Structure 1
Amino acid sequence: MSVYDFTVLTSRGERKPLADYRGKALLIVNTATKCGLAPQFKALQQLHEQYKDQGLTVLGFPCNQFRDQEPVKDSEMQETCQINFGVTFPLLGKIDVNGPNADPLYAYLKRQAPGFLNSSIKWNFTKFLVDAEGRVVKRFSPTTKPMKLEGRIKKLLADAK
């Protein structure tokens, strides 16, 4: 099993097989536009722009489970991210990352890369780096700045060639 075996919903409610990203490295992030860490959107966009032609795709999964920091509809969230942060990387449909309604993708990610003390997602902007084979390589905390991942991303992309 790999990340590519999952199907998620887009912000328009359409089914999106992650197999569409087969052969690409992924940086999967649970996001929230009203979070104090929302400035990370700009750095995530920078990584996406800088490395998309080399095989990286950033995937944002909006989540409203942490202090109601993503209360808007998916369409509104898309617009906010484009206007405020210049986001062009895929932002998918809003999901739960913890609890009984956690999206199956996130249940899988947490099993593959448990966090400190337990596997639950602690906050918005937890990041999972996935290699071009769909394997979870590493989990990064919400406070890890996206640009700190650049060296790992470069290595992952070089190893995929």
Structure 2
Amino acid sequence: MQAPDPVEAILARLMPPALSQDCQYELEAMIDDLTGPEPANVVEISQVNWTARWLIGGGIAAAFGALCAVFPIHENTSASQTAVALPKESPSGLVLVSQSDRVESMTDEGWKEDADGLALHAVRLNVVGENKMRDRETGMVVQISEPREEVLLMPISSF
């Protein structure tokens, strides 16, 4: 094994030499010239009213949440709803090639009771509807996927 002194000498040769003091001052002066003059109208952001801004933001978020609770963005779809038949050709020149629905997962939600007191068995389904459309002019086929969540309610006749 080699002595540590020759290894240190080899490593010392790999290190770049340090800059001289004059060279370092010149580089700093060049960087200062490139940055330009300091702006005269710098305004500090005040940290005094952070509580007011926090309360205003929280109020806006609470108002938006209340609005979404009163007027829901989308309605829950149910399996008992009838499906709307898509036209074979839309006015934009797209032709329906294929249409399919697949169930990705099912979750048993147990027994529920409706307004009339009828016992129902609830099953939550995660369904993905897929449509393939072909453009008449270009021949390009586009696949449209629509994930949705459905709750299937089945009446219970015997206990």
| TM bin (shorter chain) | under 0.3
Give the TM-score normalised by the residue count of structure 2.
0.17
Q: Counting helix residues as a fraction of each chain, which structure ranks higher?
A: 1
Higher relative contact order (CA 8 A, sep 6+): 1
Give the TM-score normalised by the residue count of structure 1.
0.17
